[in-house]
Structure 1
Amino acid sequence: MTASETMNQIHAHNVLNMLLAAEAPYTKESLKQAVIAEYGEDVRFHTCSQEGLTFDALLTFLLDRRKVVENGDTIAANKERMCNH
């Protein structure tokens, strides 16, 4: 088995769904801590077009594509930019 096969790969939609389900807004840091608590320190993410992303790389990807938007110190999923599959 290769390292990538043993690595915990989670789809980016899981993070977007965490944002959508949140009772209180997340900051970048509180979202990162929630993701680590849920999936572990070594988690990597994949999207429809990329894989092996760290949390920081995933957040940059989501912000660049406006799937996640910043509002002051908080971040939120942008429902209008999310794909539905």
Structure 2
Amino acid sequence: MTTTPPNGRALALLRAIAAGRAELGAGSEPDLRVDGLLCSDQATAHGLTHAGLVRPARPVGPGEWVPAELTPAGAQALGLDSAA
């Protein structure tokens, strides 16, 4: 879990994920696509997953892309009700 607040770029990615516009690819360093385009800041995308703010909506296999979703901690980082 992250101990520092996300920066503006990370918050923008979290908002795109919350809006259902993002997908994660398989791997220990999962890549992120937003609106079908590969995110240009994969370091931030990797940081969000490693911080426990983002996860795949379902298990992902090699070469597969699945919807990304916020974890409860990711929803909290955006000030959203994680129970909704």
TM-score (normalised: structure 2): 0.49
Asked which structure has the greater CA Rg, the reply is: 1
Q: TM-score, normalised by structure 1?
A: 0.49
More helix per residue: 1
